[in-house]
Amino acid sequence: MLRKALLVAPLLLIAGCGGSSSVASRPANTAFSTDLTSIFKDIKSYGSGAVTVGWNQLTGTTTLNGSNATVELQATVNYRNGSGQFDGLVTVTLPDTSAMTLLMKGTASLNSSTSTTSFVSNLTWLGGSGSLASANANGSFTGSRSTALGGAVHLDVKLQMNP
């Protein structure tokens, strides 16, 4: 349910068109979606699940301007009764190995009647390499998870590219 892959997809769209390394060729606004799968997690619950803390590493792919890109999300969680704060990093890597990393700070909200968790997060540029070395982007994502913490996540990302 933690569809953090969506975080990565917007970054890929911002990465540029046709492999160009020119910041001017990147779209000013980018949006994408992705599905992420957990590849490693260390999550602990206390007080019959009332407090949940830990971290999760998720990966997925997205398509950006016709090319596949990899998205990796690393998140820490601090939840009370299934809802709370999360922080971490979203990295998008293009086929030419150019990459960008964004800081995420968000909130998860569990709907106890549907057992679905929704996410909202701000994204702040940390840095890039290759064709993304001189880029800068900020944005946000929304997402959802319909499985237990550590399960698959869907994300919808929106980025504002600043040349």
Predicted local confidence at residue 28, as pLDDT = 61
Predicted local confidence at residue 65, as pLDDT = 60
SS3 for the chain is CECCHHHHHHHHHHCCCCCCCCHHHCCCEEEEEEEEEEEEEEEEEECCCCEEEEEEEEEEEEEECCEEEEEEEEEEEEEECCEEEEEEEEEEECCCCCEEEEEEEEEEEEECCCCEEEEEEEEEEEEEEHHHCCCCEEEEEEEEECCCCCCEEEEEEEEEECC
Q: Which domain holds residue 103?
A: 5-161
Q: What CATH number is attached to the domain comprising 11?
A: 2.40.350.10
d(CA 15, CA 56): 25
Burial of 122-140, coded b for 16+ CB within 10 Å and e otherwise, reads: ebebeebebbbeebbbebb
Please tell me the pTM assigned to this model: 0.80
- Say how many domains are in the chain: 1
pLDDT in tens, the chain (163 residues): 333 333 333 343 334 433 344 443 444 677 888 999 999 999 999 998 899 999 999 999 987 666 688 999 999 999 999 999 999 999 999 899 999 999 999 999 999 999 999 999 999 999 999 988 988 889 999 999 999 888 899 999 998 877 6
